[in-house]
Structure 1
């Protein structure tokens, strides 16, 4: 397979929280574009890490349905506004930030006191409006995770006065892909995968596709050197396999079958303990039944019973 090439067809920033990129990946064999497109799309949307506010503690507030004197928004609206604040960071451990503002005035994300190494994508994001000279004070907890975290509404179990927030960690907002067939050479056609990525600004579309490809690469690399040891029953010869066959498979007459069952003969392995003469010694087992068994073993499995039992003691 020839090396893949990726080309950035378009890259733009519509708003601080709306980044867009379009890429073309080629050349791909038939059906490979669909496989790679699906894998990249799912990884971009669900497996990339992001940072979000997961809980907040507001001074003088006991539950999310409260109101704050002198603040236009109620607590629930403020929590929803905090939920939409986008951060850019490499942090792995939970961190705490805070804000303390005296009104009147508008509270935006740019007024947040952030832990070291944490940056705001859009400092103009709206949080609340203070209508008088009262003090608006809150503390919030940041976490890095993947996907969307839904919690039970109420008081955070980690701190009695922290209110939990449903958190969206996904930095990629939307992914589209399309496939186009192109003439690669005279003998065969190839496919080109076109990928469109929208992010929230905490990561560029170029970095997003690079991280997604790295995640997929590490995932499949972990499957390269598998060394499973299966417990397989080994047989020394084909006769041992045949010996496990039930006598029902011989399709004997009812008389012969019943006589063998009464004699505790249940499989071909049991029959191999008998010679032709010993079959005749089975109760009610006549010459016709013995010949029937010998014929069935010979035709179905190529096994011939000895006429007489060979003695194990030889001189």
Structure 2
């Protein structure tokens, strides 16, 4: 593989950090071997969720020592945002994609509760990379949405005073 392909493979890592601080993980390998995410040396603060993820093949007589920085964040950070002024020569800054949710589907169907058929049933299907469970992803995304939309509820007294949720028996 060329460097670009290896970088793309590294970006496919699913890494879970149990601490808020940045952590450094290491890769120290010798050929011949197929190198996977499971070959990355971590401590108890970092979990490689997809250890079978292929990174690259290293030929006989060759070796590689590399370090990677693991951080927690949200959304997308371009490579420029990951560059550090004090980084050693030869450091490759890579963009970071902090999006554990890979795909979401939803379906709304009519539903009956007792003799009343005026309800809807919402089914949500969430697929993640394994660094977060779907229930937590849904809860976190709902919380983010609520916080963003709360900005609008303070605009008028009518919005504040209106009851929107009905109690069902």
**TM-score of the superposition, structure 1-length normalised?**
0.43
State how many pairs are aligned.
155
Q: Quote the Cα distance in structure 2 between the aligned partners of 1:152 and 1:220.
A: 27
User: Would the alpha carbon gap of residues 195 and 132 (structure 1) be closer, same or farther in structure 2, given more than 3 Å must change?
Assistant: same
Instruction: Confirm or deny: 8 A CA contact 2:16 2:49 kept in the other structure.
Output: yes
Instruction: Confirm or deny: 8 A CA contact 1:95 1:115 kept in the other structure.
Output: no
The answer for the alignment partner of 1:96 in structure 2 is 24
In the TM superposition, residue 168 of structure 1 has moved relative to its aligned partner by 1.3
* 1:107 paired to 2:35: yes
The answer for the alignment partner of 1:129 in structure 2 is 57
The answer for the alignment partner of 2:141 in structure 1 is 212
* 1:168 paired to 2:127: no
User: Would the alpha carbon gap of residues 151 and 220 (structure 1) be closer, same or farther in structure 2, given more than 3 Å must change?
Assistant: closer
**TM-score of the superposition, structure 2-length normalised?**
0.76
Q: Quote the Cα distance in structure 2 between the aligned partners of 1:160 and 1:117.
A: 24
In the TM superposition, residue 121 of structure 1 has moved relative to its aligned partner by 0.9
**Cα RMSD, aligned residues only:** 3.1
Greater strand fraction, Structure 1 or Structure 2: 2
In the TM superposition, residue 220 of structure 1 has moved relative to its aligned partner by 7.3
Q: Relative contact order (alpha carbons < 8 A, sep ≥ 6): 1 or 2 greater?
A: 1
Q: Quote the Cα distance in structure 1 between the aligned partners of 2:106 and 2:129.
A: 19
Q: Quote the Cα distance in structure 1 between the aligned partners of 2:39 and 2:100.
A: 23
> Any stretches of 5+ residues in structure 2 without a counterpart?
157-169
Which of 72, 79, 86 is matched with 1:144 structurally? 72
